[in-house]
Amino acid sequence: MAKVAALQMCSSHLVSENLAMAAKLIAEAKANSAELVVLPEMFAAMGLKEQDKLKIKEKYGDGLIQNFLAEQALKNNIWIVAGTIPISTQTENKARASCLIYNNQGVVVARYDKIHLFDVTLSARESYFESSTIEAGNNIVVLDTPIGKLGIAVCYDIRFPRLFAGLHELGAEIIAIPAAFTMKTGAAHWELLARARAVENFCYVIGACQGGTHTSQRQTYGHSLIVDPWGKIMTELNESKPGVIYADIDLKYLADIRKSIPLHPKL
């Protein structure tokens, strides 16, 4: 078995402040023997307004945030699923919401660009149009890691079962989901969807969340959790504050479940 960790943060608009918090939590995870850690969506900055993410976007392969992540992975000898950061595209006024995966040598071994963008109107006072600054990705990602085959999804992606079926078909055994759910949708659907995606695909699900009231006054739900392939919540952070949760990944247990109940038969 291998231990994994999910970090919960309440990121501000200040990159330096958020990187300091992330470094502290990554070190804590390593001190507790985690081999892989998952950071939340937008861990490096939750801007005061939507356009702020374009001010900190980086060219893929270089930049303050990417250099920090590489350093932390190497320093702590740990794999990092780096939430999302804005990565430049050919479109000047857009970025990709990119989840970079670093191995324990500080090398990027995979990149997933968020596919499903959060364009919603929850009420007359609360709406989000992620596509105003973010360009959608179009490739799904599964990679080999020391803890098993890892698939990646981000926040709003969790509502689209076909994406997760595709991850399963590519061999995913664990799915990491960096997230920043709203209070309204989080309270109603976060746990339900995380457990559903785990059971539908008999995968471990690691949900690393933003949680609390941010400097923009936006509120996120938190409740980072790790779910086993049978849909059981192994651990959850119920408080809206930074913290780390842990669970052990047991691939034999997963294999036994998959053997007993085959999934995704051909239509």
**Which positions ≥6 away from 90 have C-beta within 8 Å?**
none
Structure tokens at 180: 């920043």
Task: Decide the pairing of beta strands 127-129 and 119-121.
Answer: antiparallel
The arithmetic mean of pLDDT across residues 47-69, rounded, is: 96
The arithmetic mean of pLDDT across residues 177-205, rounded, is: 97
Delineate the domains of the chain, giving CATH numbers in brackets.
2-260 (3.60.110.10)
Q: CA–CA separation, 1 vs 210, rounded Å?
A: 27
Active site residue 49: no
User: For residue 135, what pLDDT band results from cuts at 50, 70 and 90?
Assistant: very high
- DSSP codes, 94-128: -EEEEEEEE-TTS-EEEEEE--S--EEE-SSS-EE
Residue 162 has a pLDDT of: 96
Active site residue 130: no
Q: What residue type is assigned to position 141 of the chain?
A: V
The arithmetic mean of pLDDT across residues 7-22, rounded, is: 98
CB count within 10 Å of CB 165 equals: 15
Catalytic residue among 35, 41, 58, 135: 41
User: For residue 105, what pLDDT band results from cuts at 50, 70 and 90?
Assistant: very high
Active site residue 3: no
- How far apart, in Å, do the first and last CA atoms of the chain sit? 35
Catalytic residue among 114, 149, 203, 209: 114
Catalytic residue among 155, 173, 203, 209: 155
| Closest of 228, 185, 207, 247 to residue 40, by C-alpha | 207
Residue 267 has a pLDDT of: 53
Q: What residue type is assigned to position 75 of the chain?
A: K
Structure tokens at 207: 């949900």
Residue 128 has a pLDDT of: 77
Residue 129 has a pLDDT of: 80
Distances (CA, A) of 166 to 112, 139, 232: 14, 10, 22
The arithmetic mean of pLDDT across residues 212-229, rounded, is: 96
**Which positions ≥6 away from 217 have C-beta within 8 Å?**
none
The arithmetic mean of pLDDT across residues 85-110, rounded, is: 97
CB count within 10 Å of CB 266 equals: 3
Residue 1 near residue 247 (C-beta atoms within 8 A): no
pLDDT tens profile 139-189: 999 999 999 999 999 999 999 999 999 999 999 999 999 999 999 999 999
The arithmetic mean of pLDDT across residues 122-138, rounded, is: 86
pLDDT of residue 262 exceeding 90: no
The arithmetic mean of pLDDT across residues 119-138, rounded, is: 85
The arithmetic mean of pLDDT across residues 39-51, rounded, is: 96
Residue 204 has a pLDDT of: 98
User: For residue 266, what pLDDT band results from cuts at 50, 70 and 90?
Assistant: low
Task: Decide the pairing of beta strands 174-179 and 148-152.
Answer: parallel
Residue 58 has a pLDDT of: 98
User: For residue 265, what pLDDT band results from cuts at 50, 70 and 90?
Assistant: low
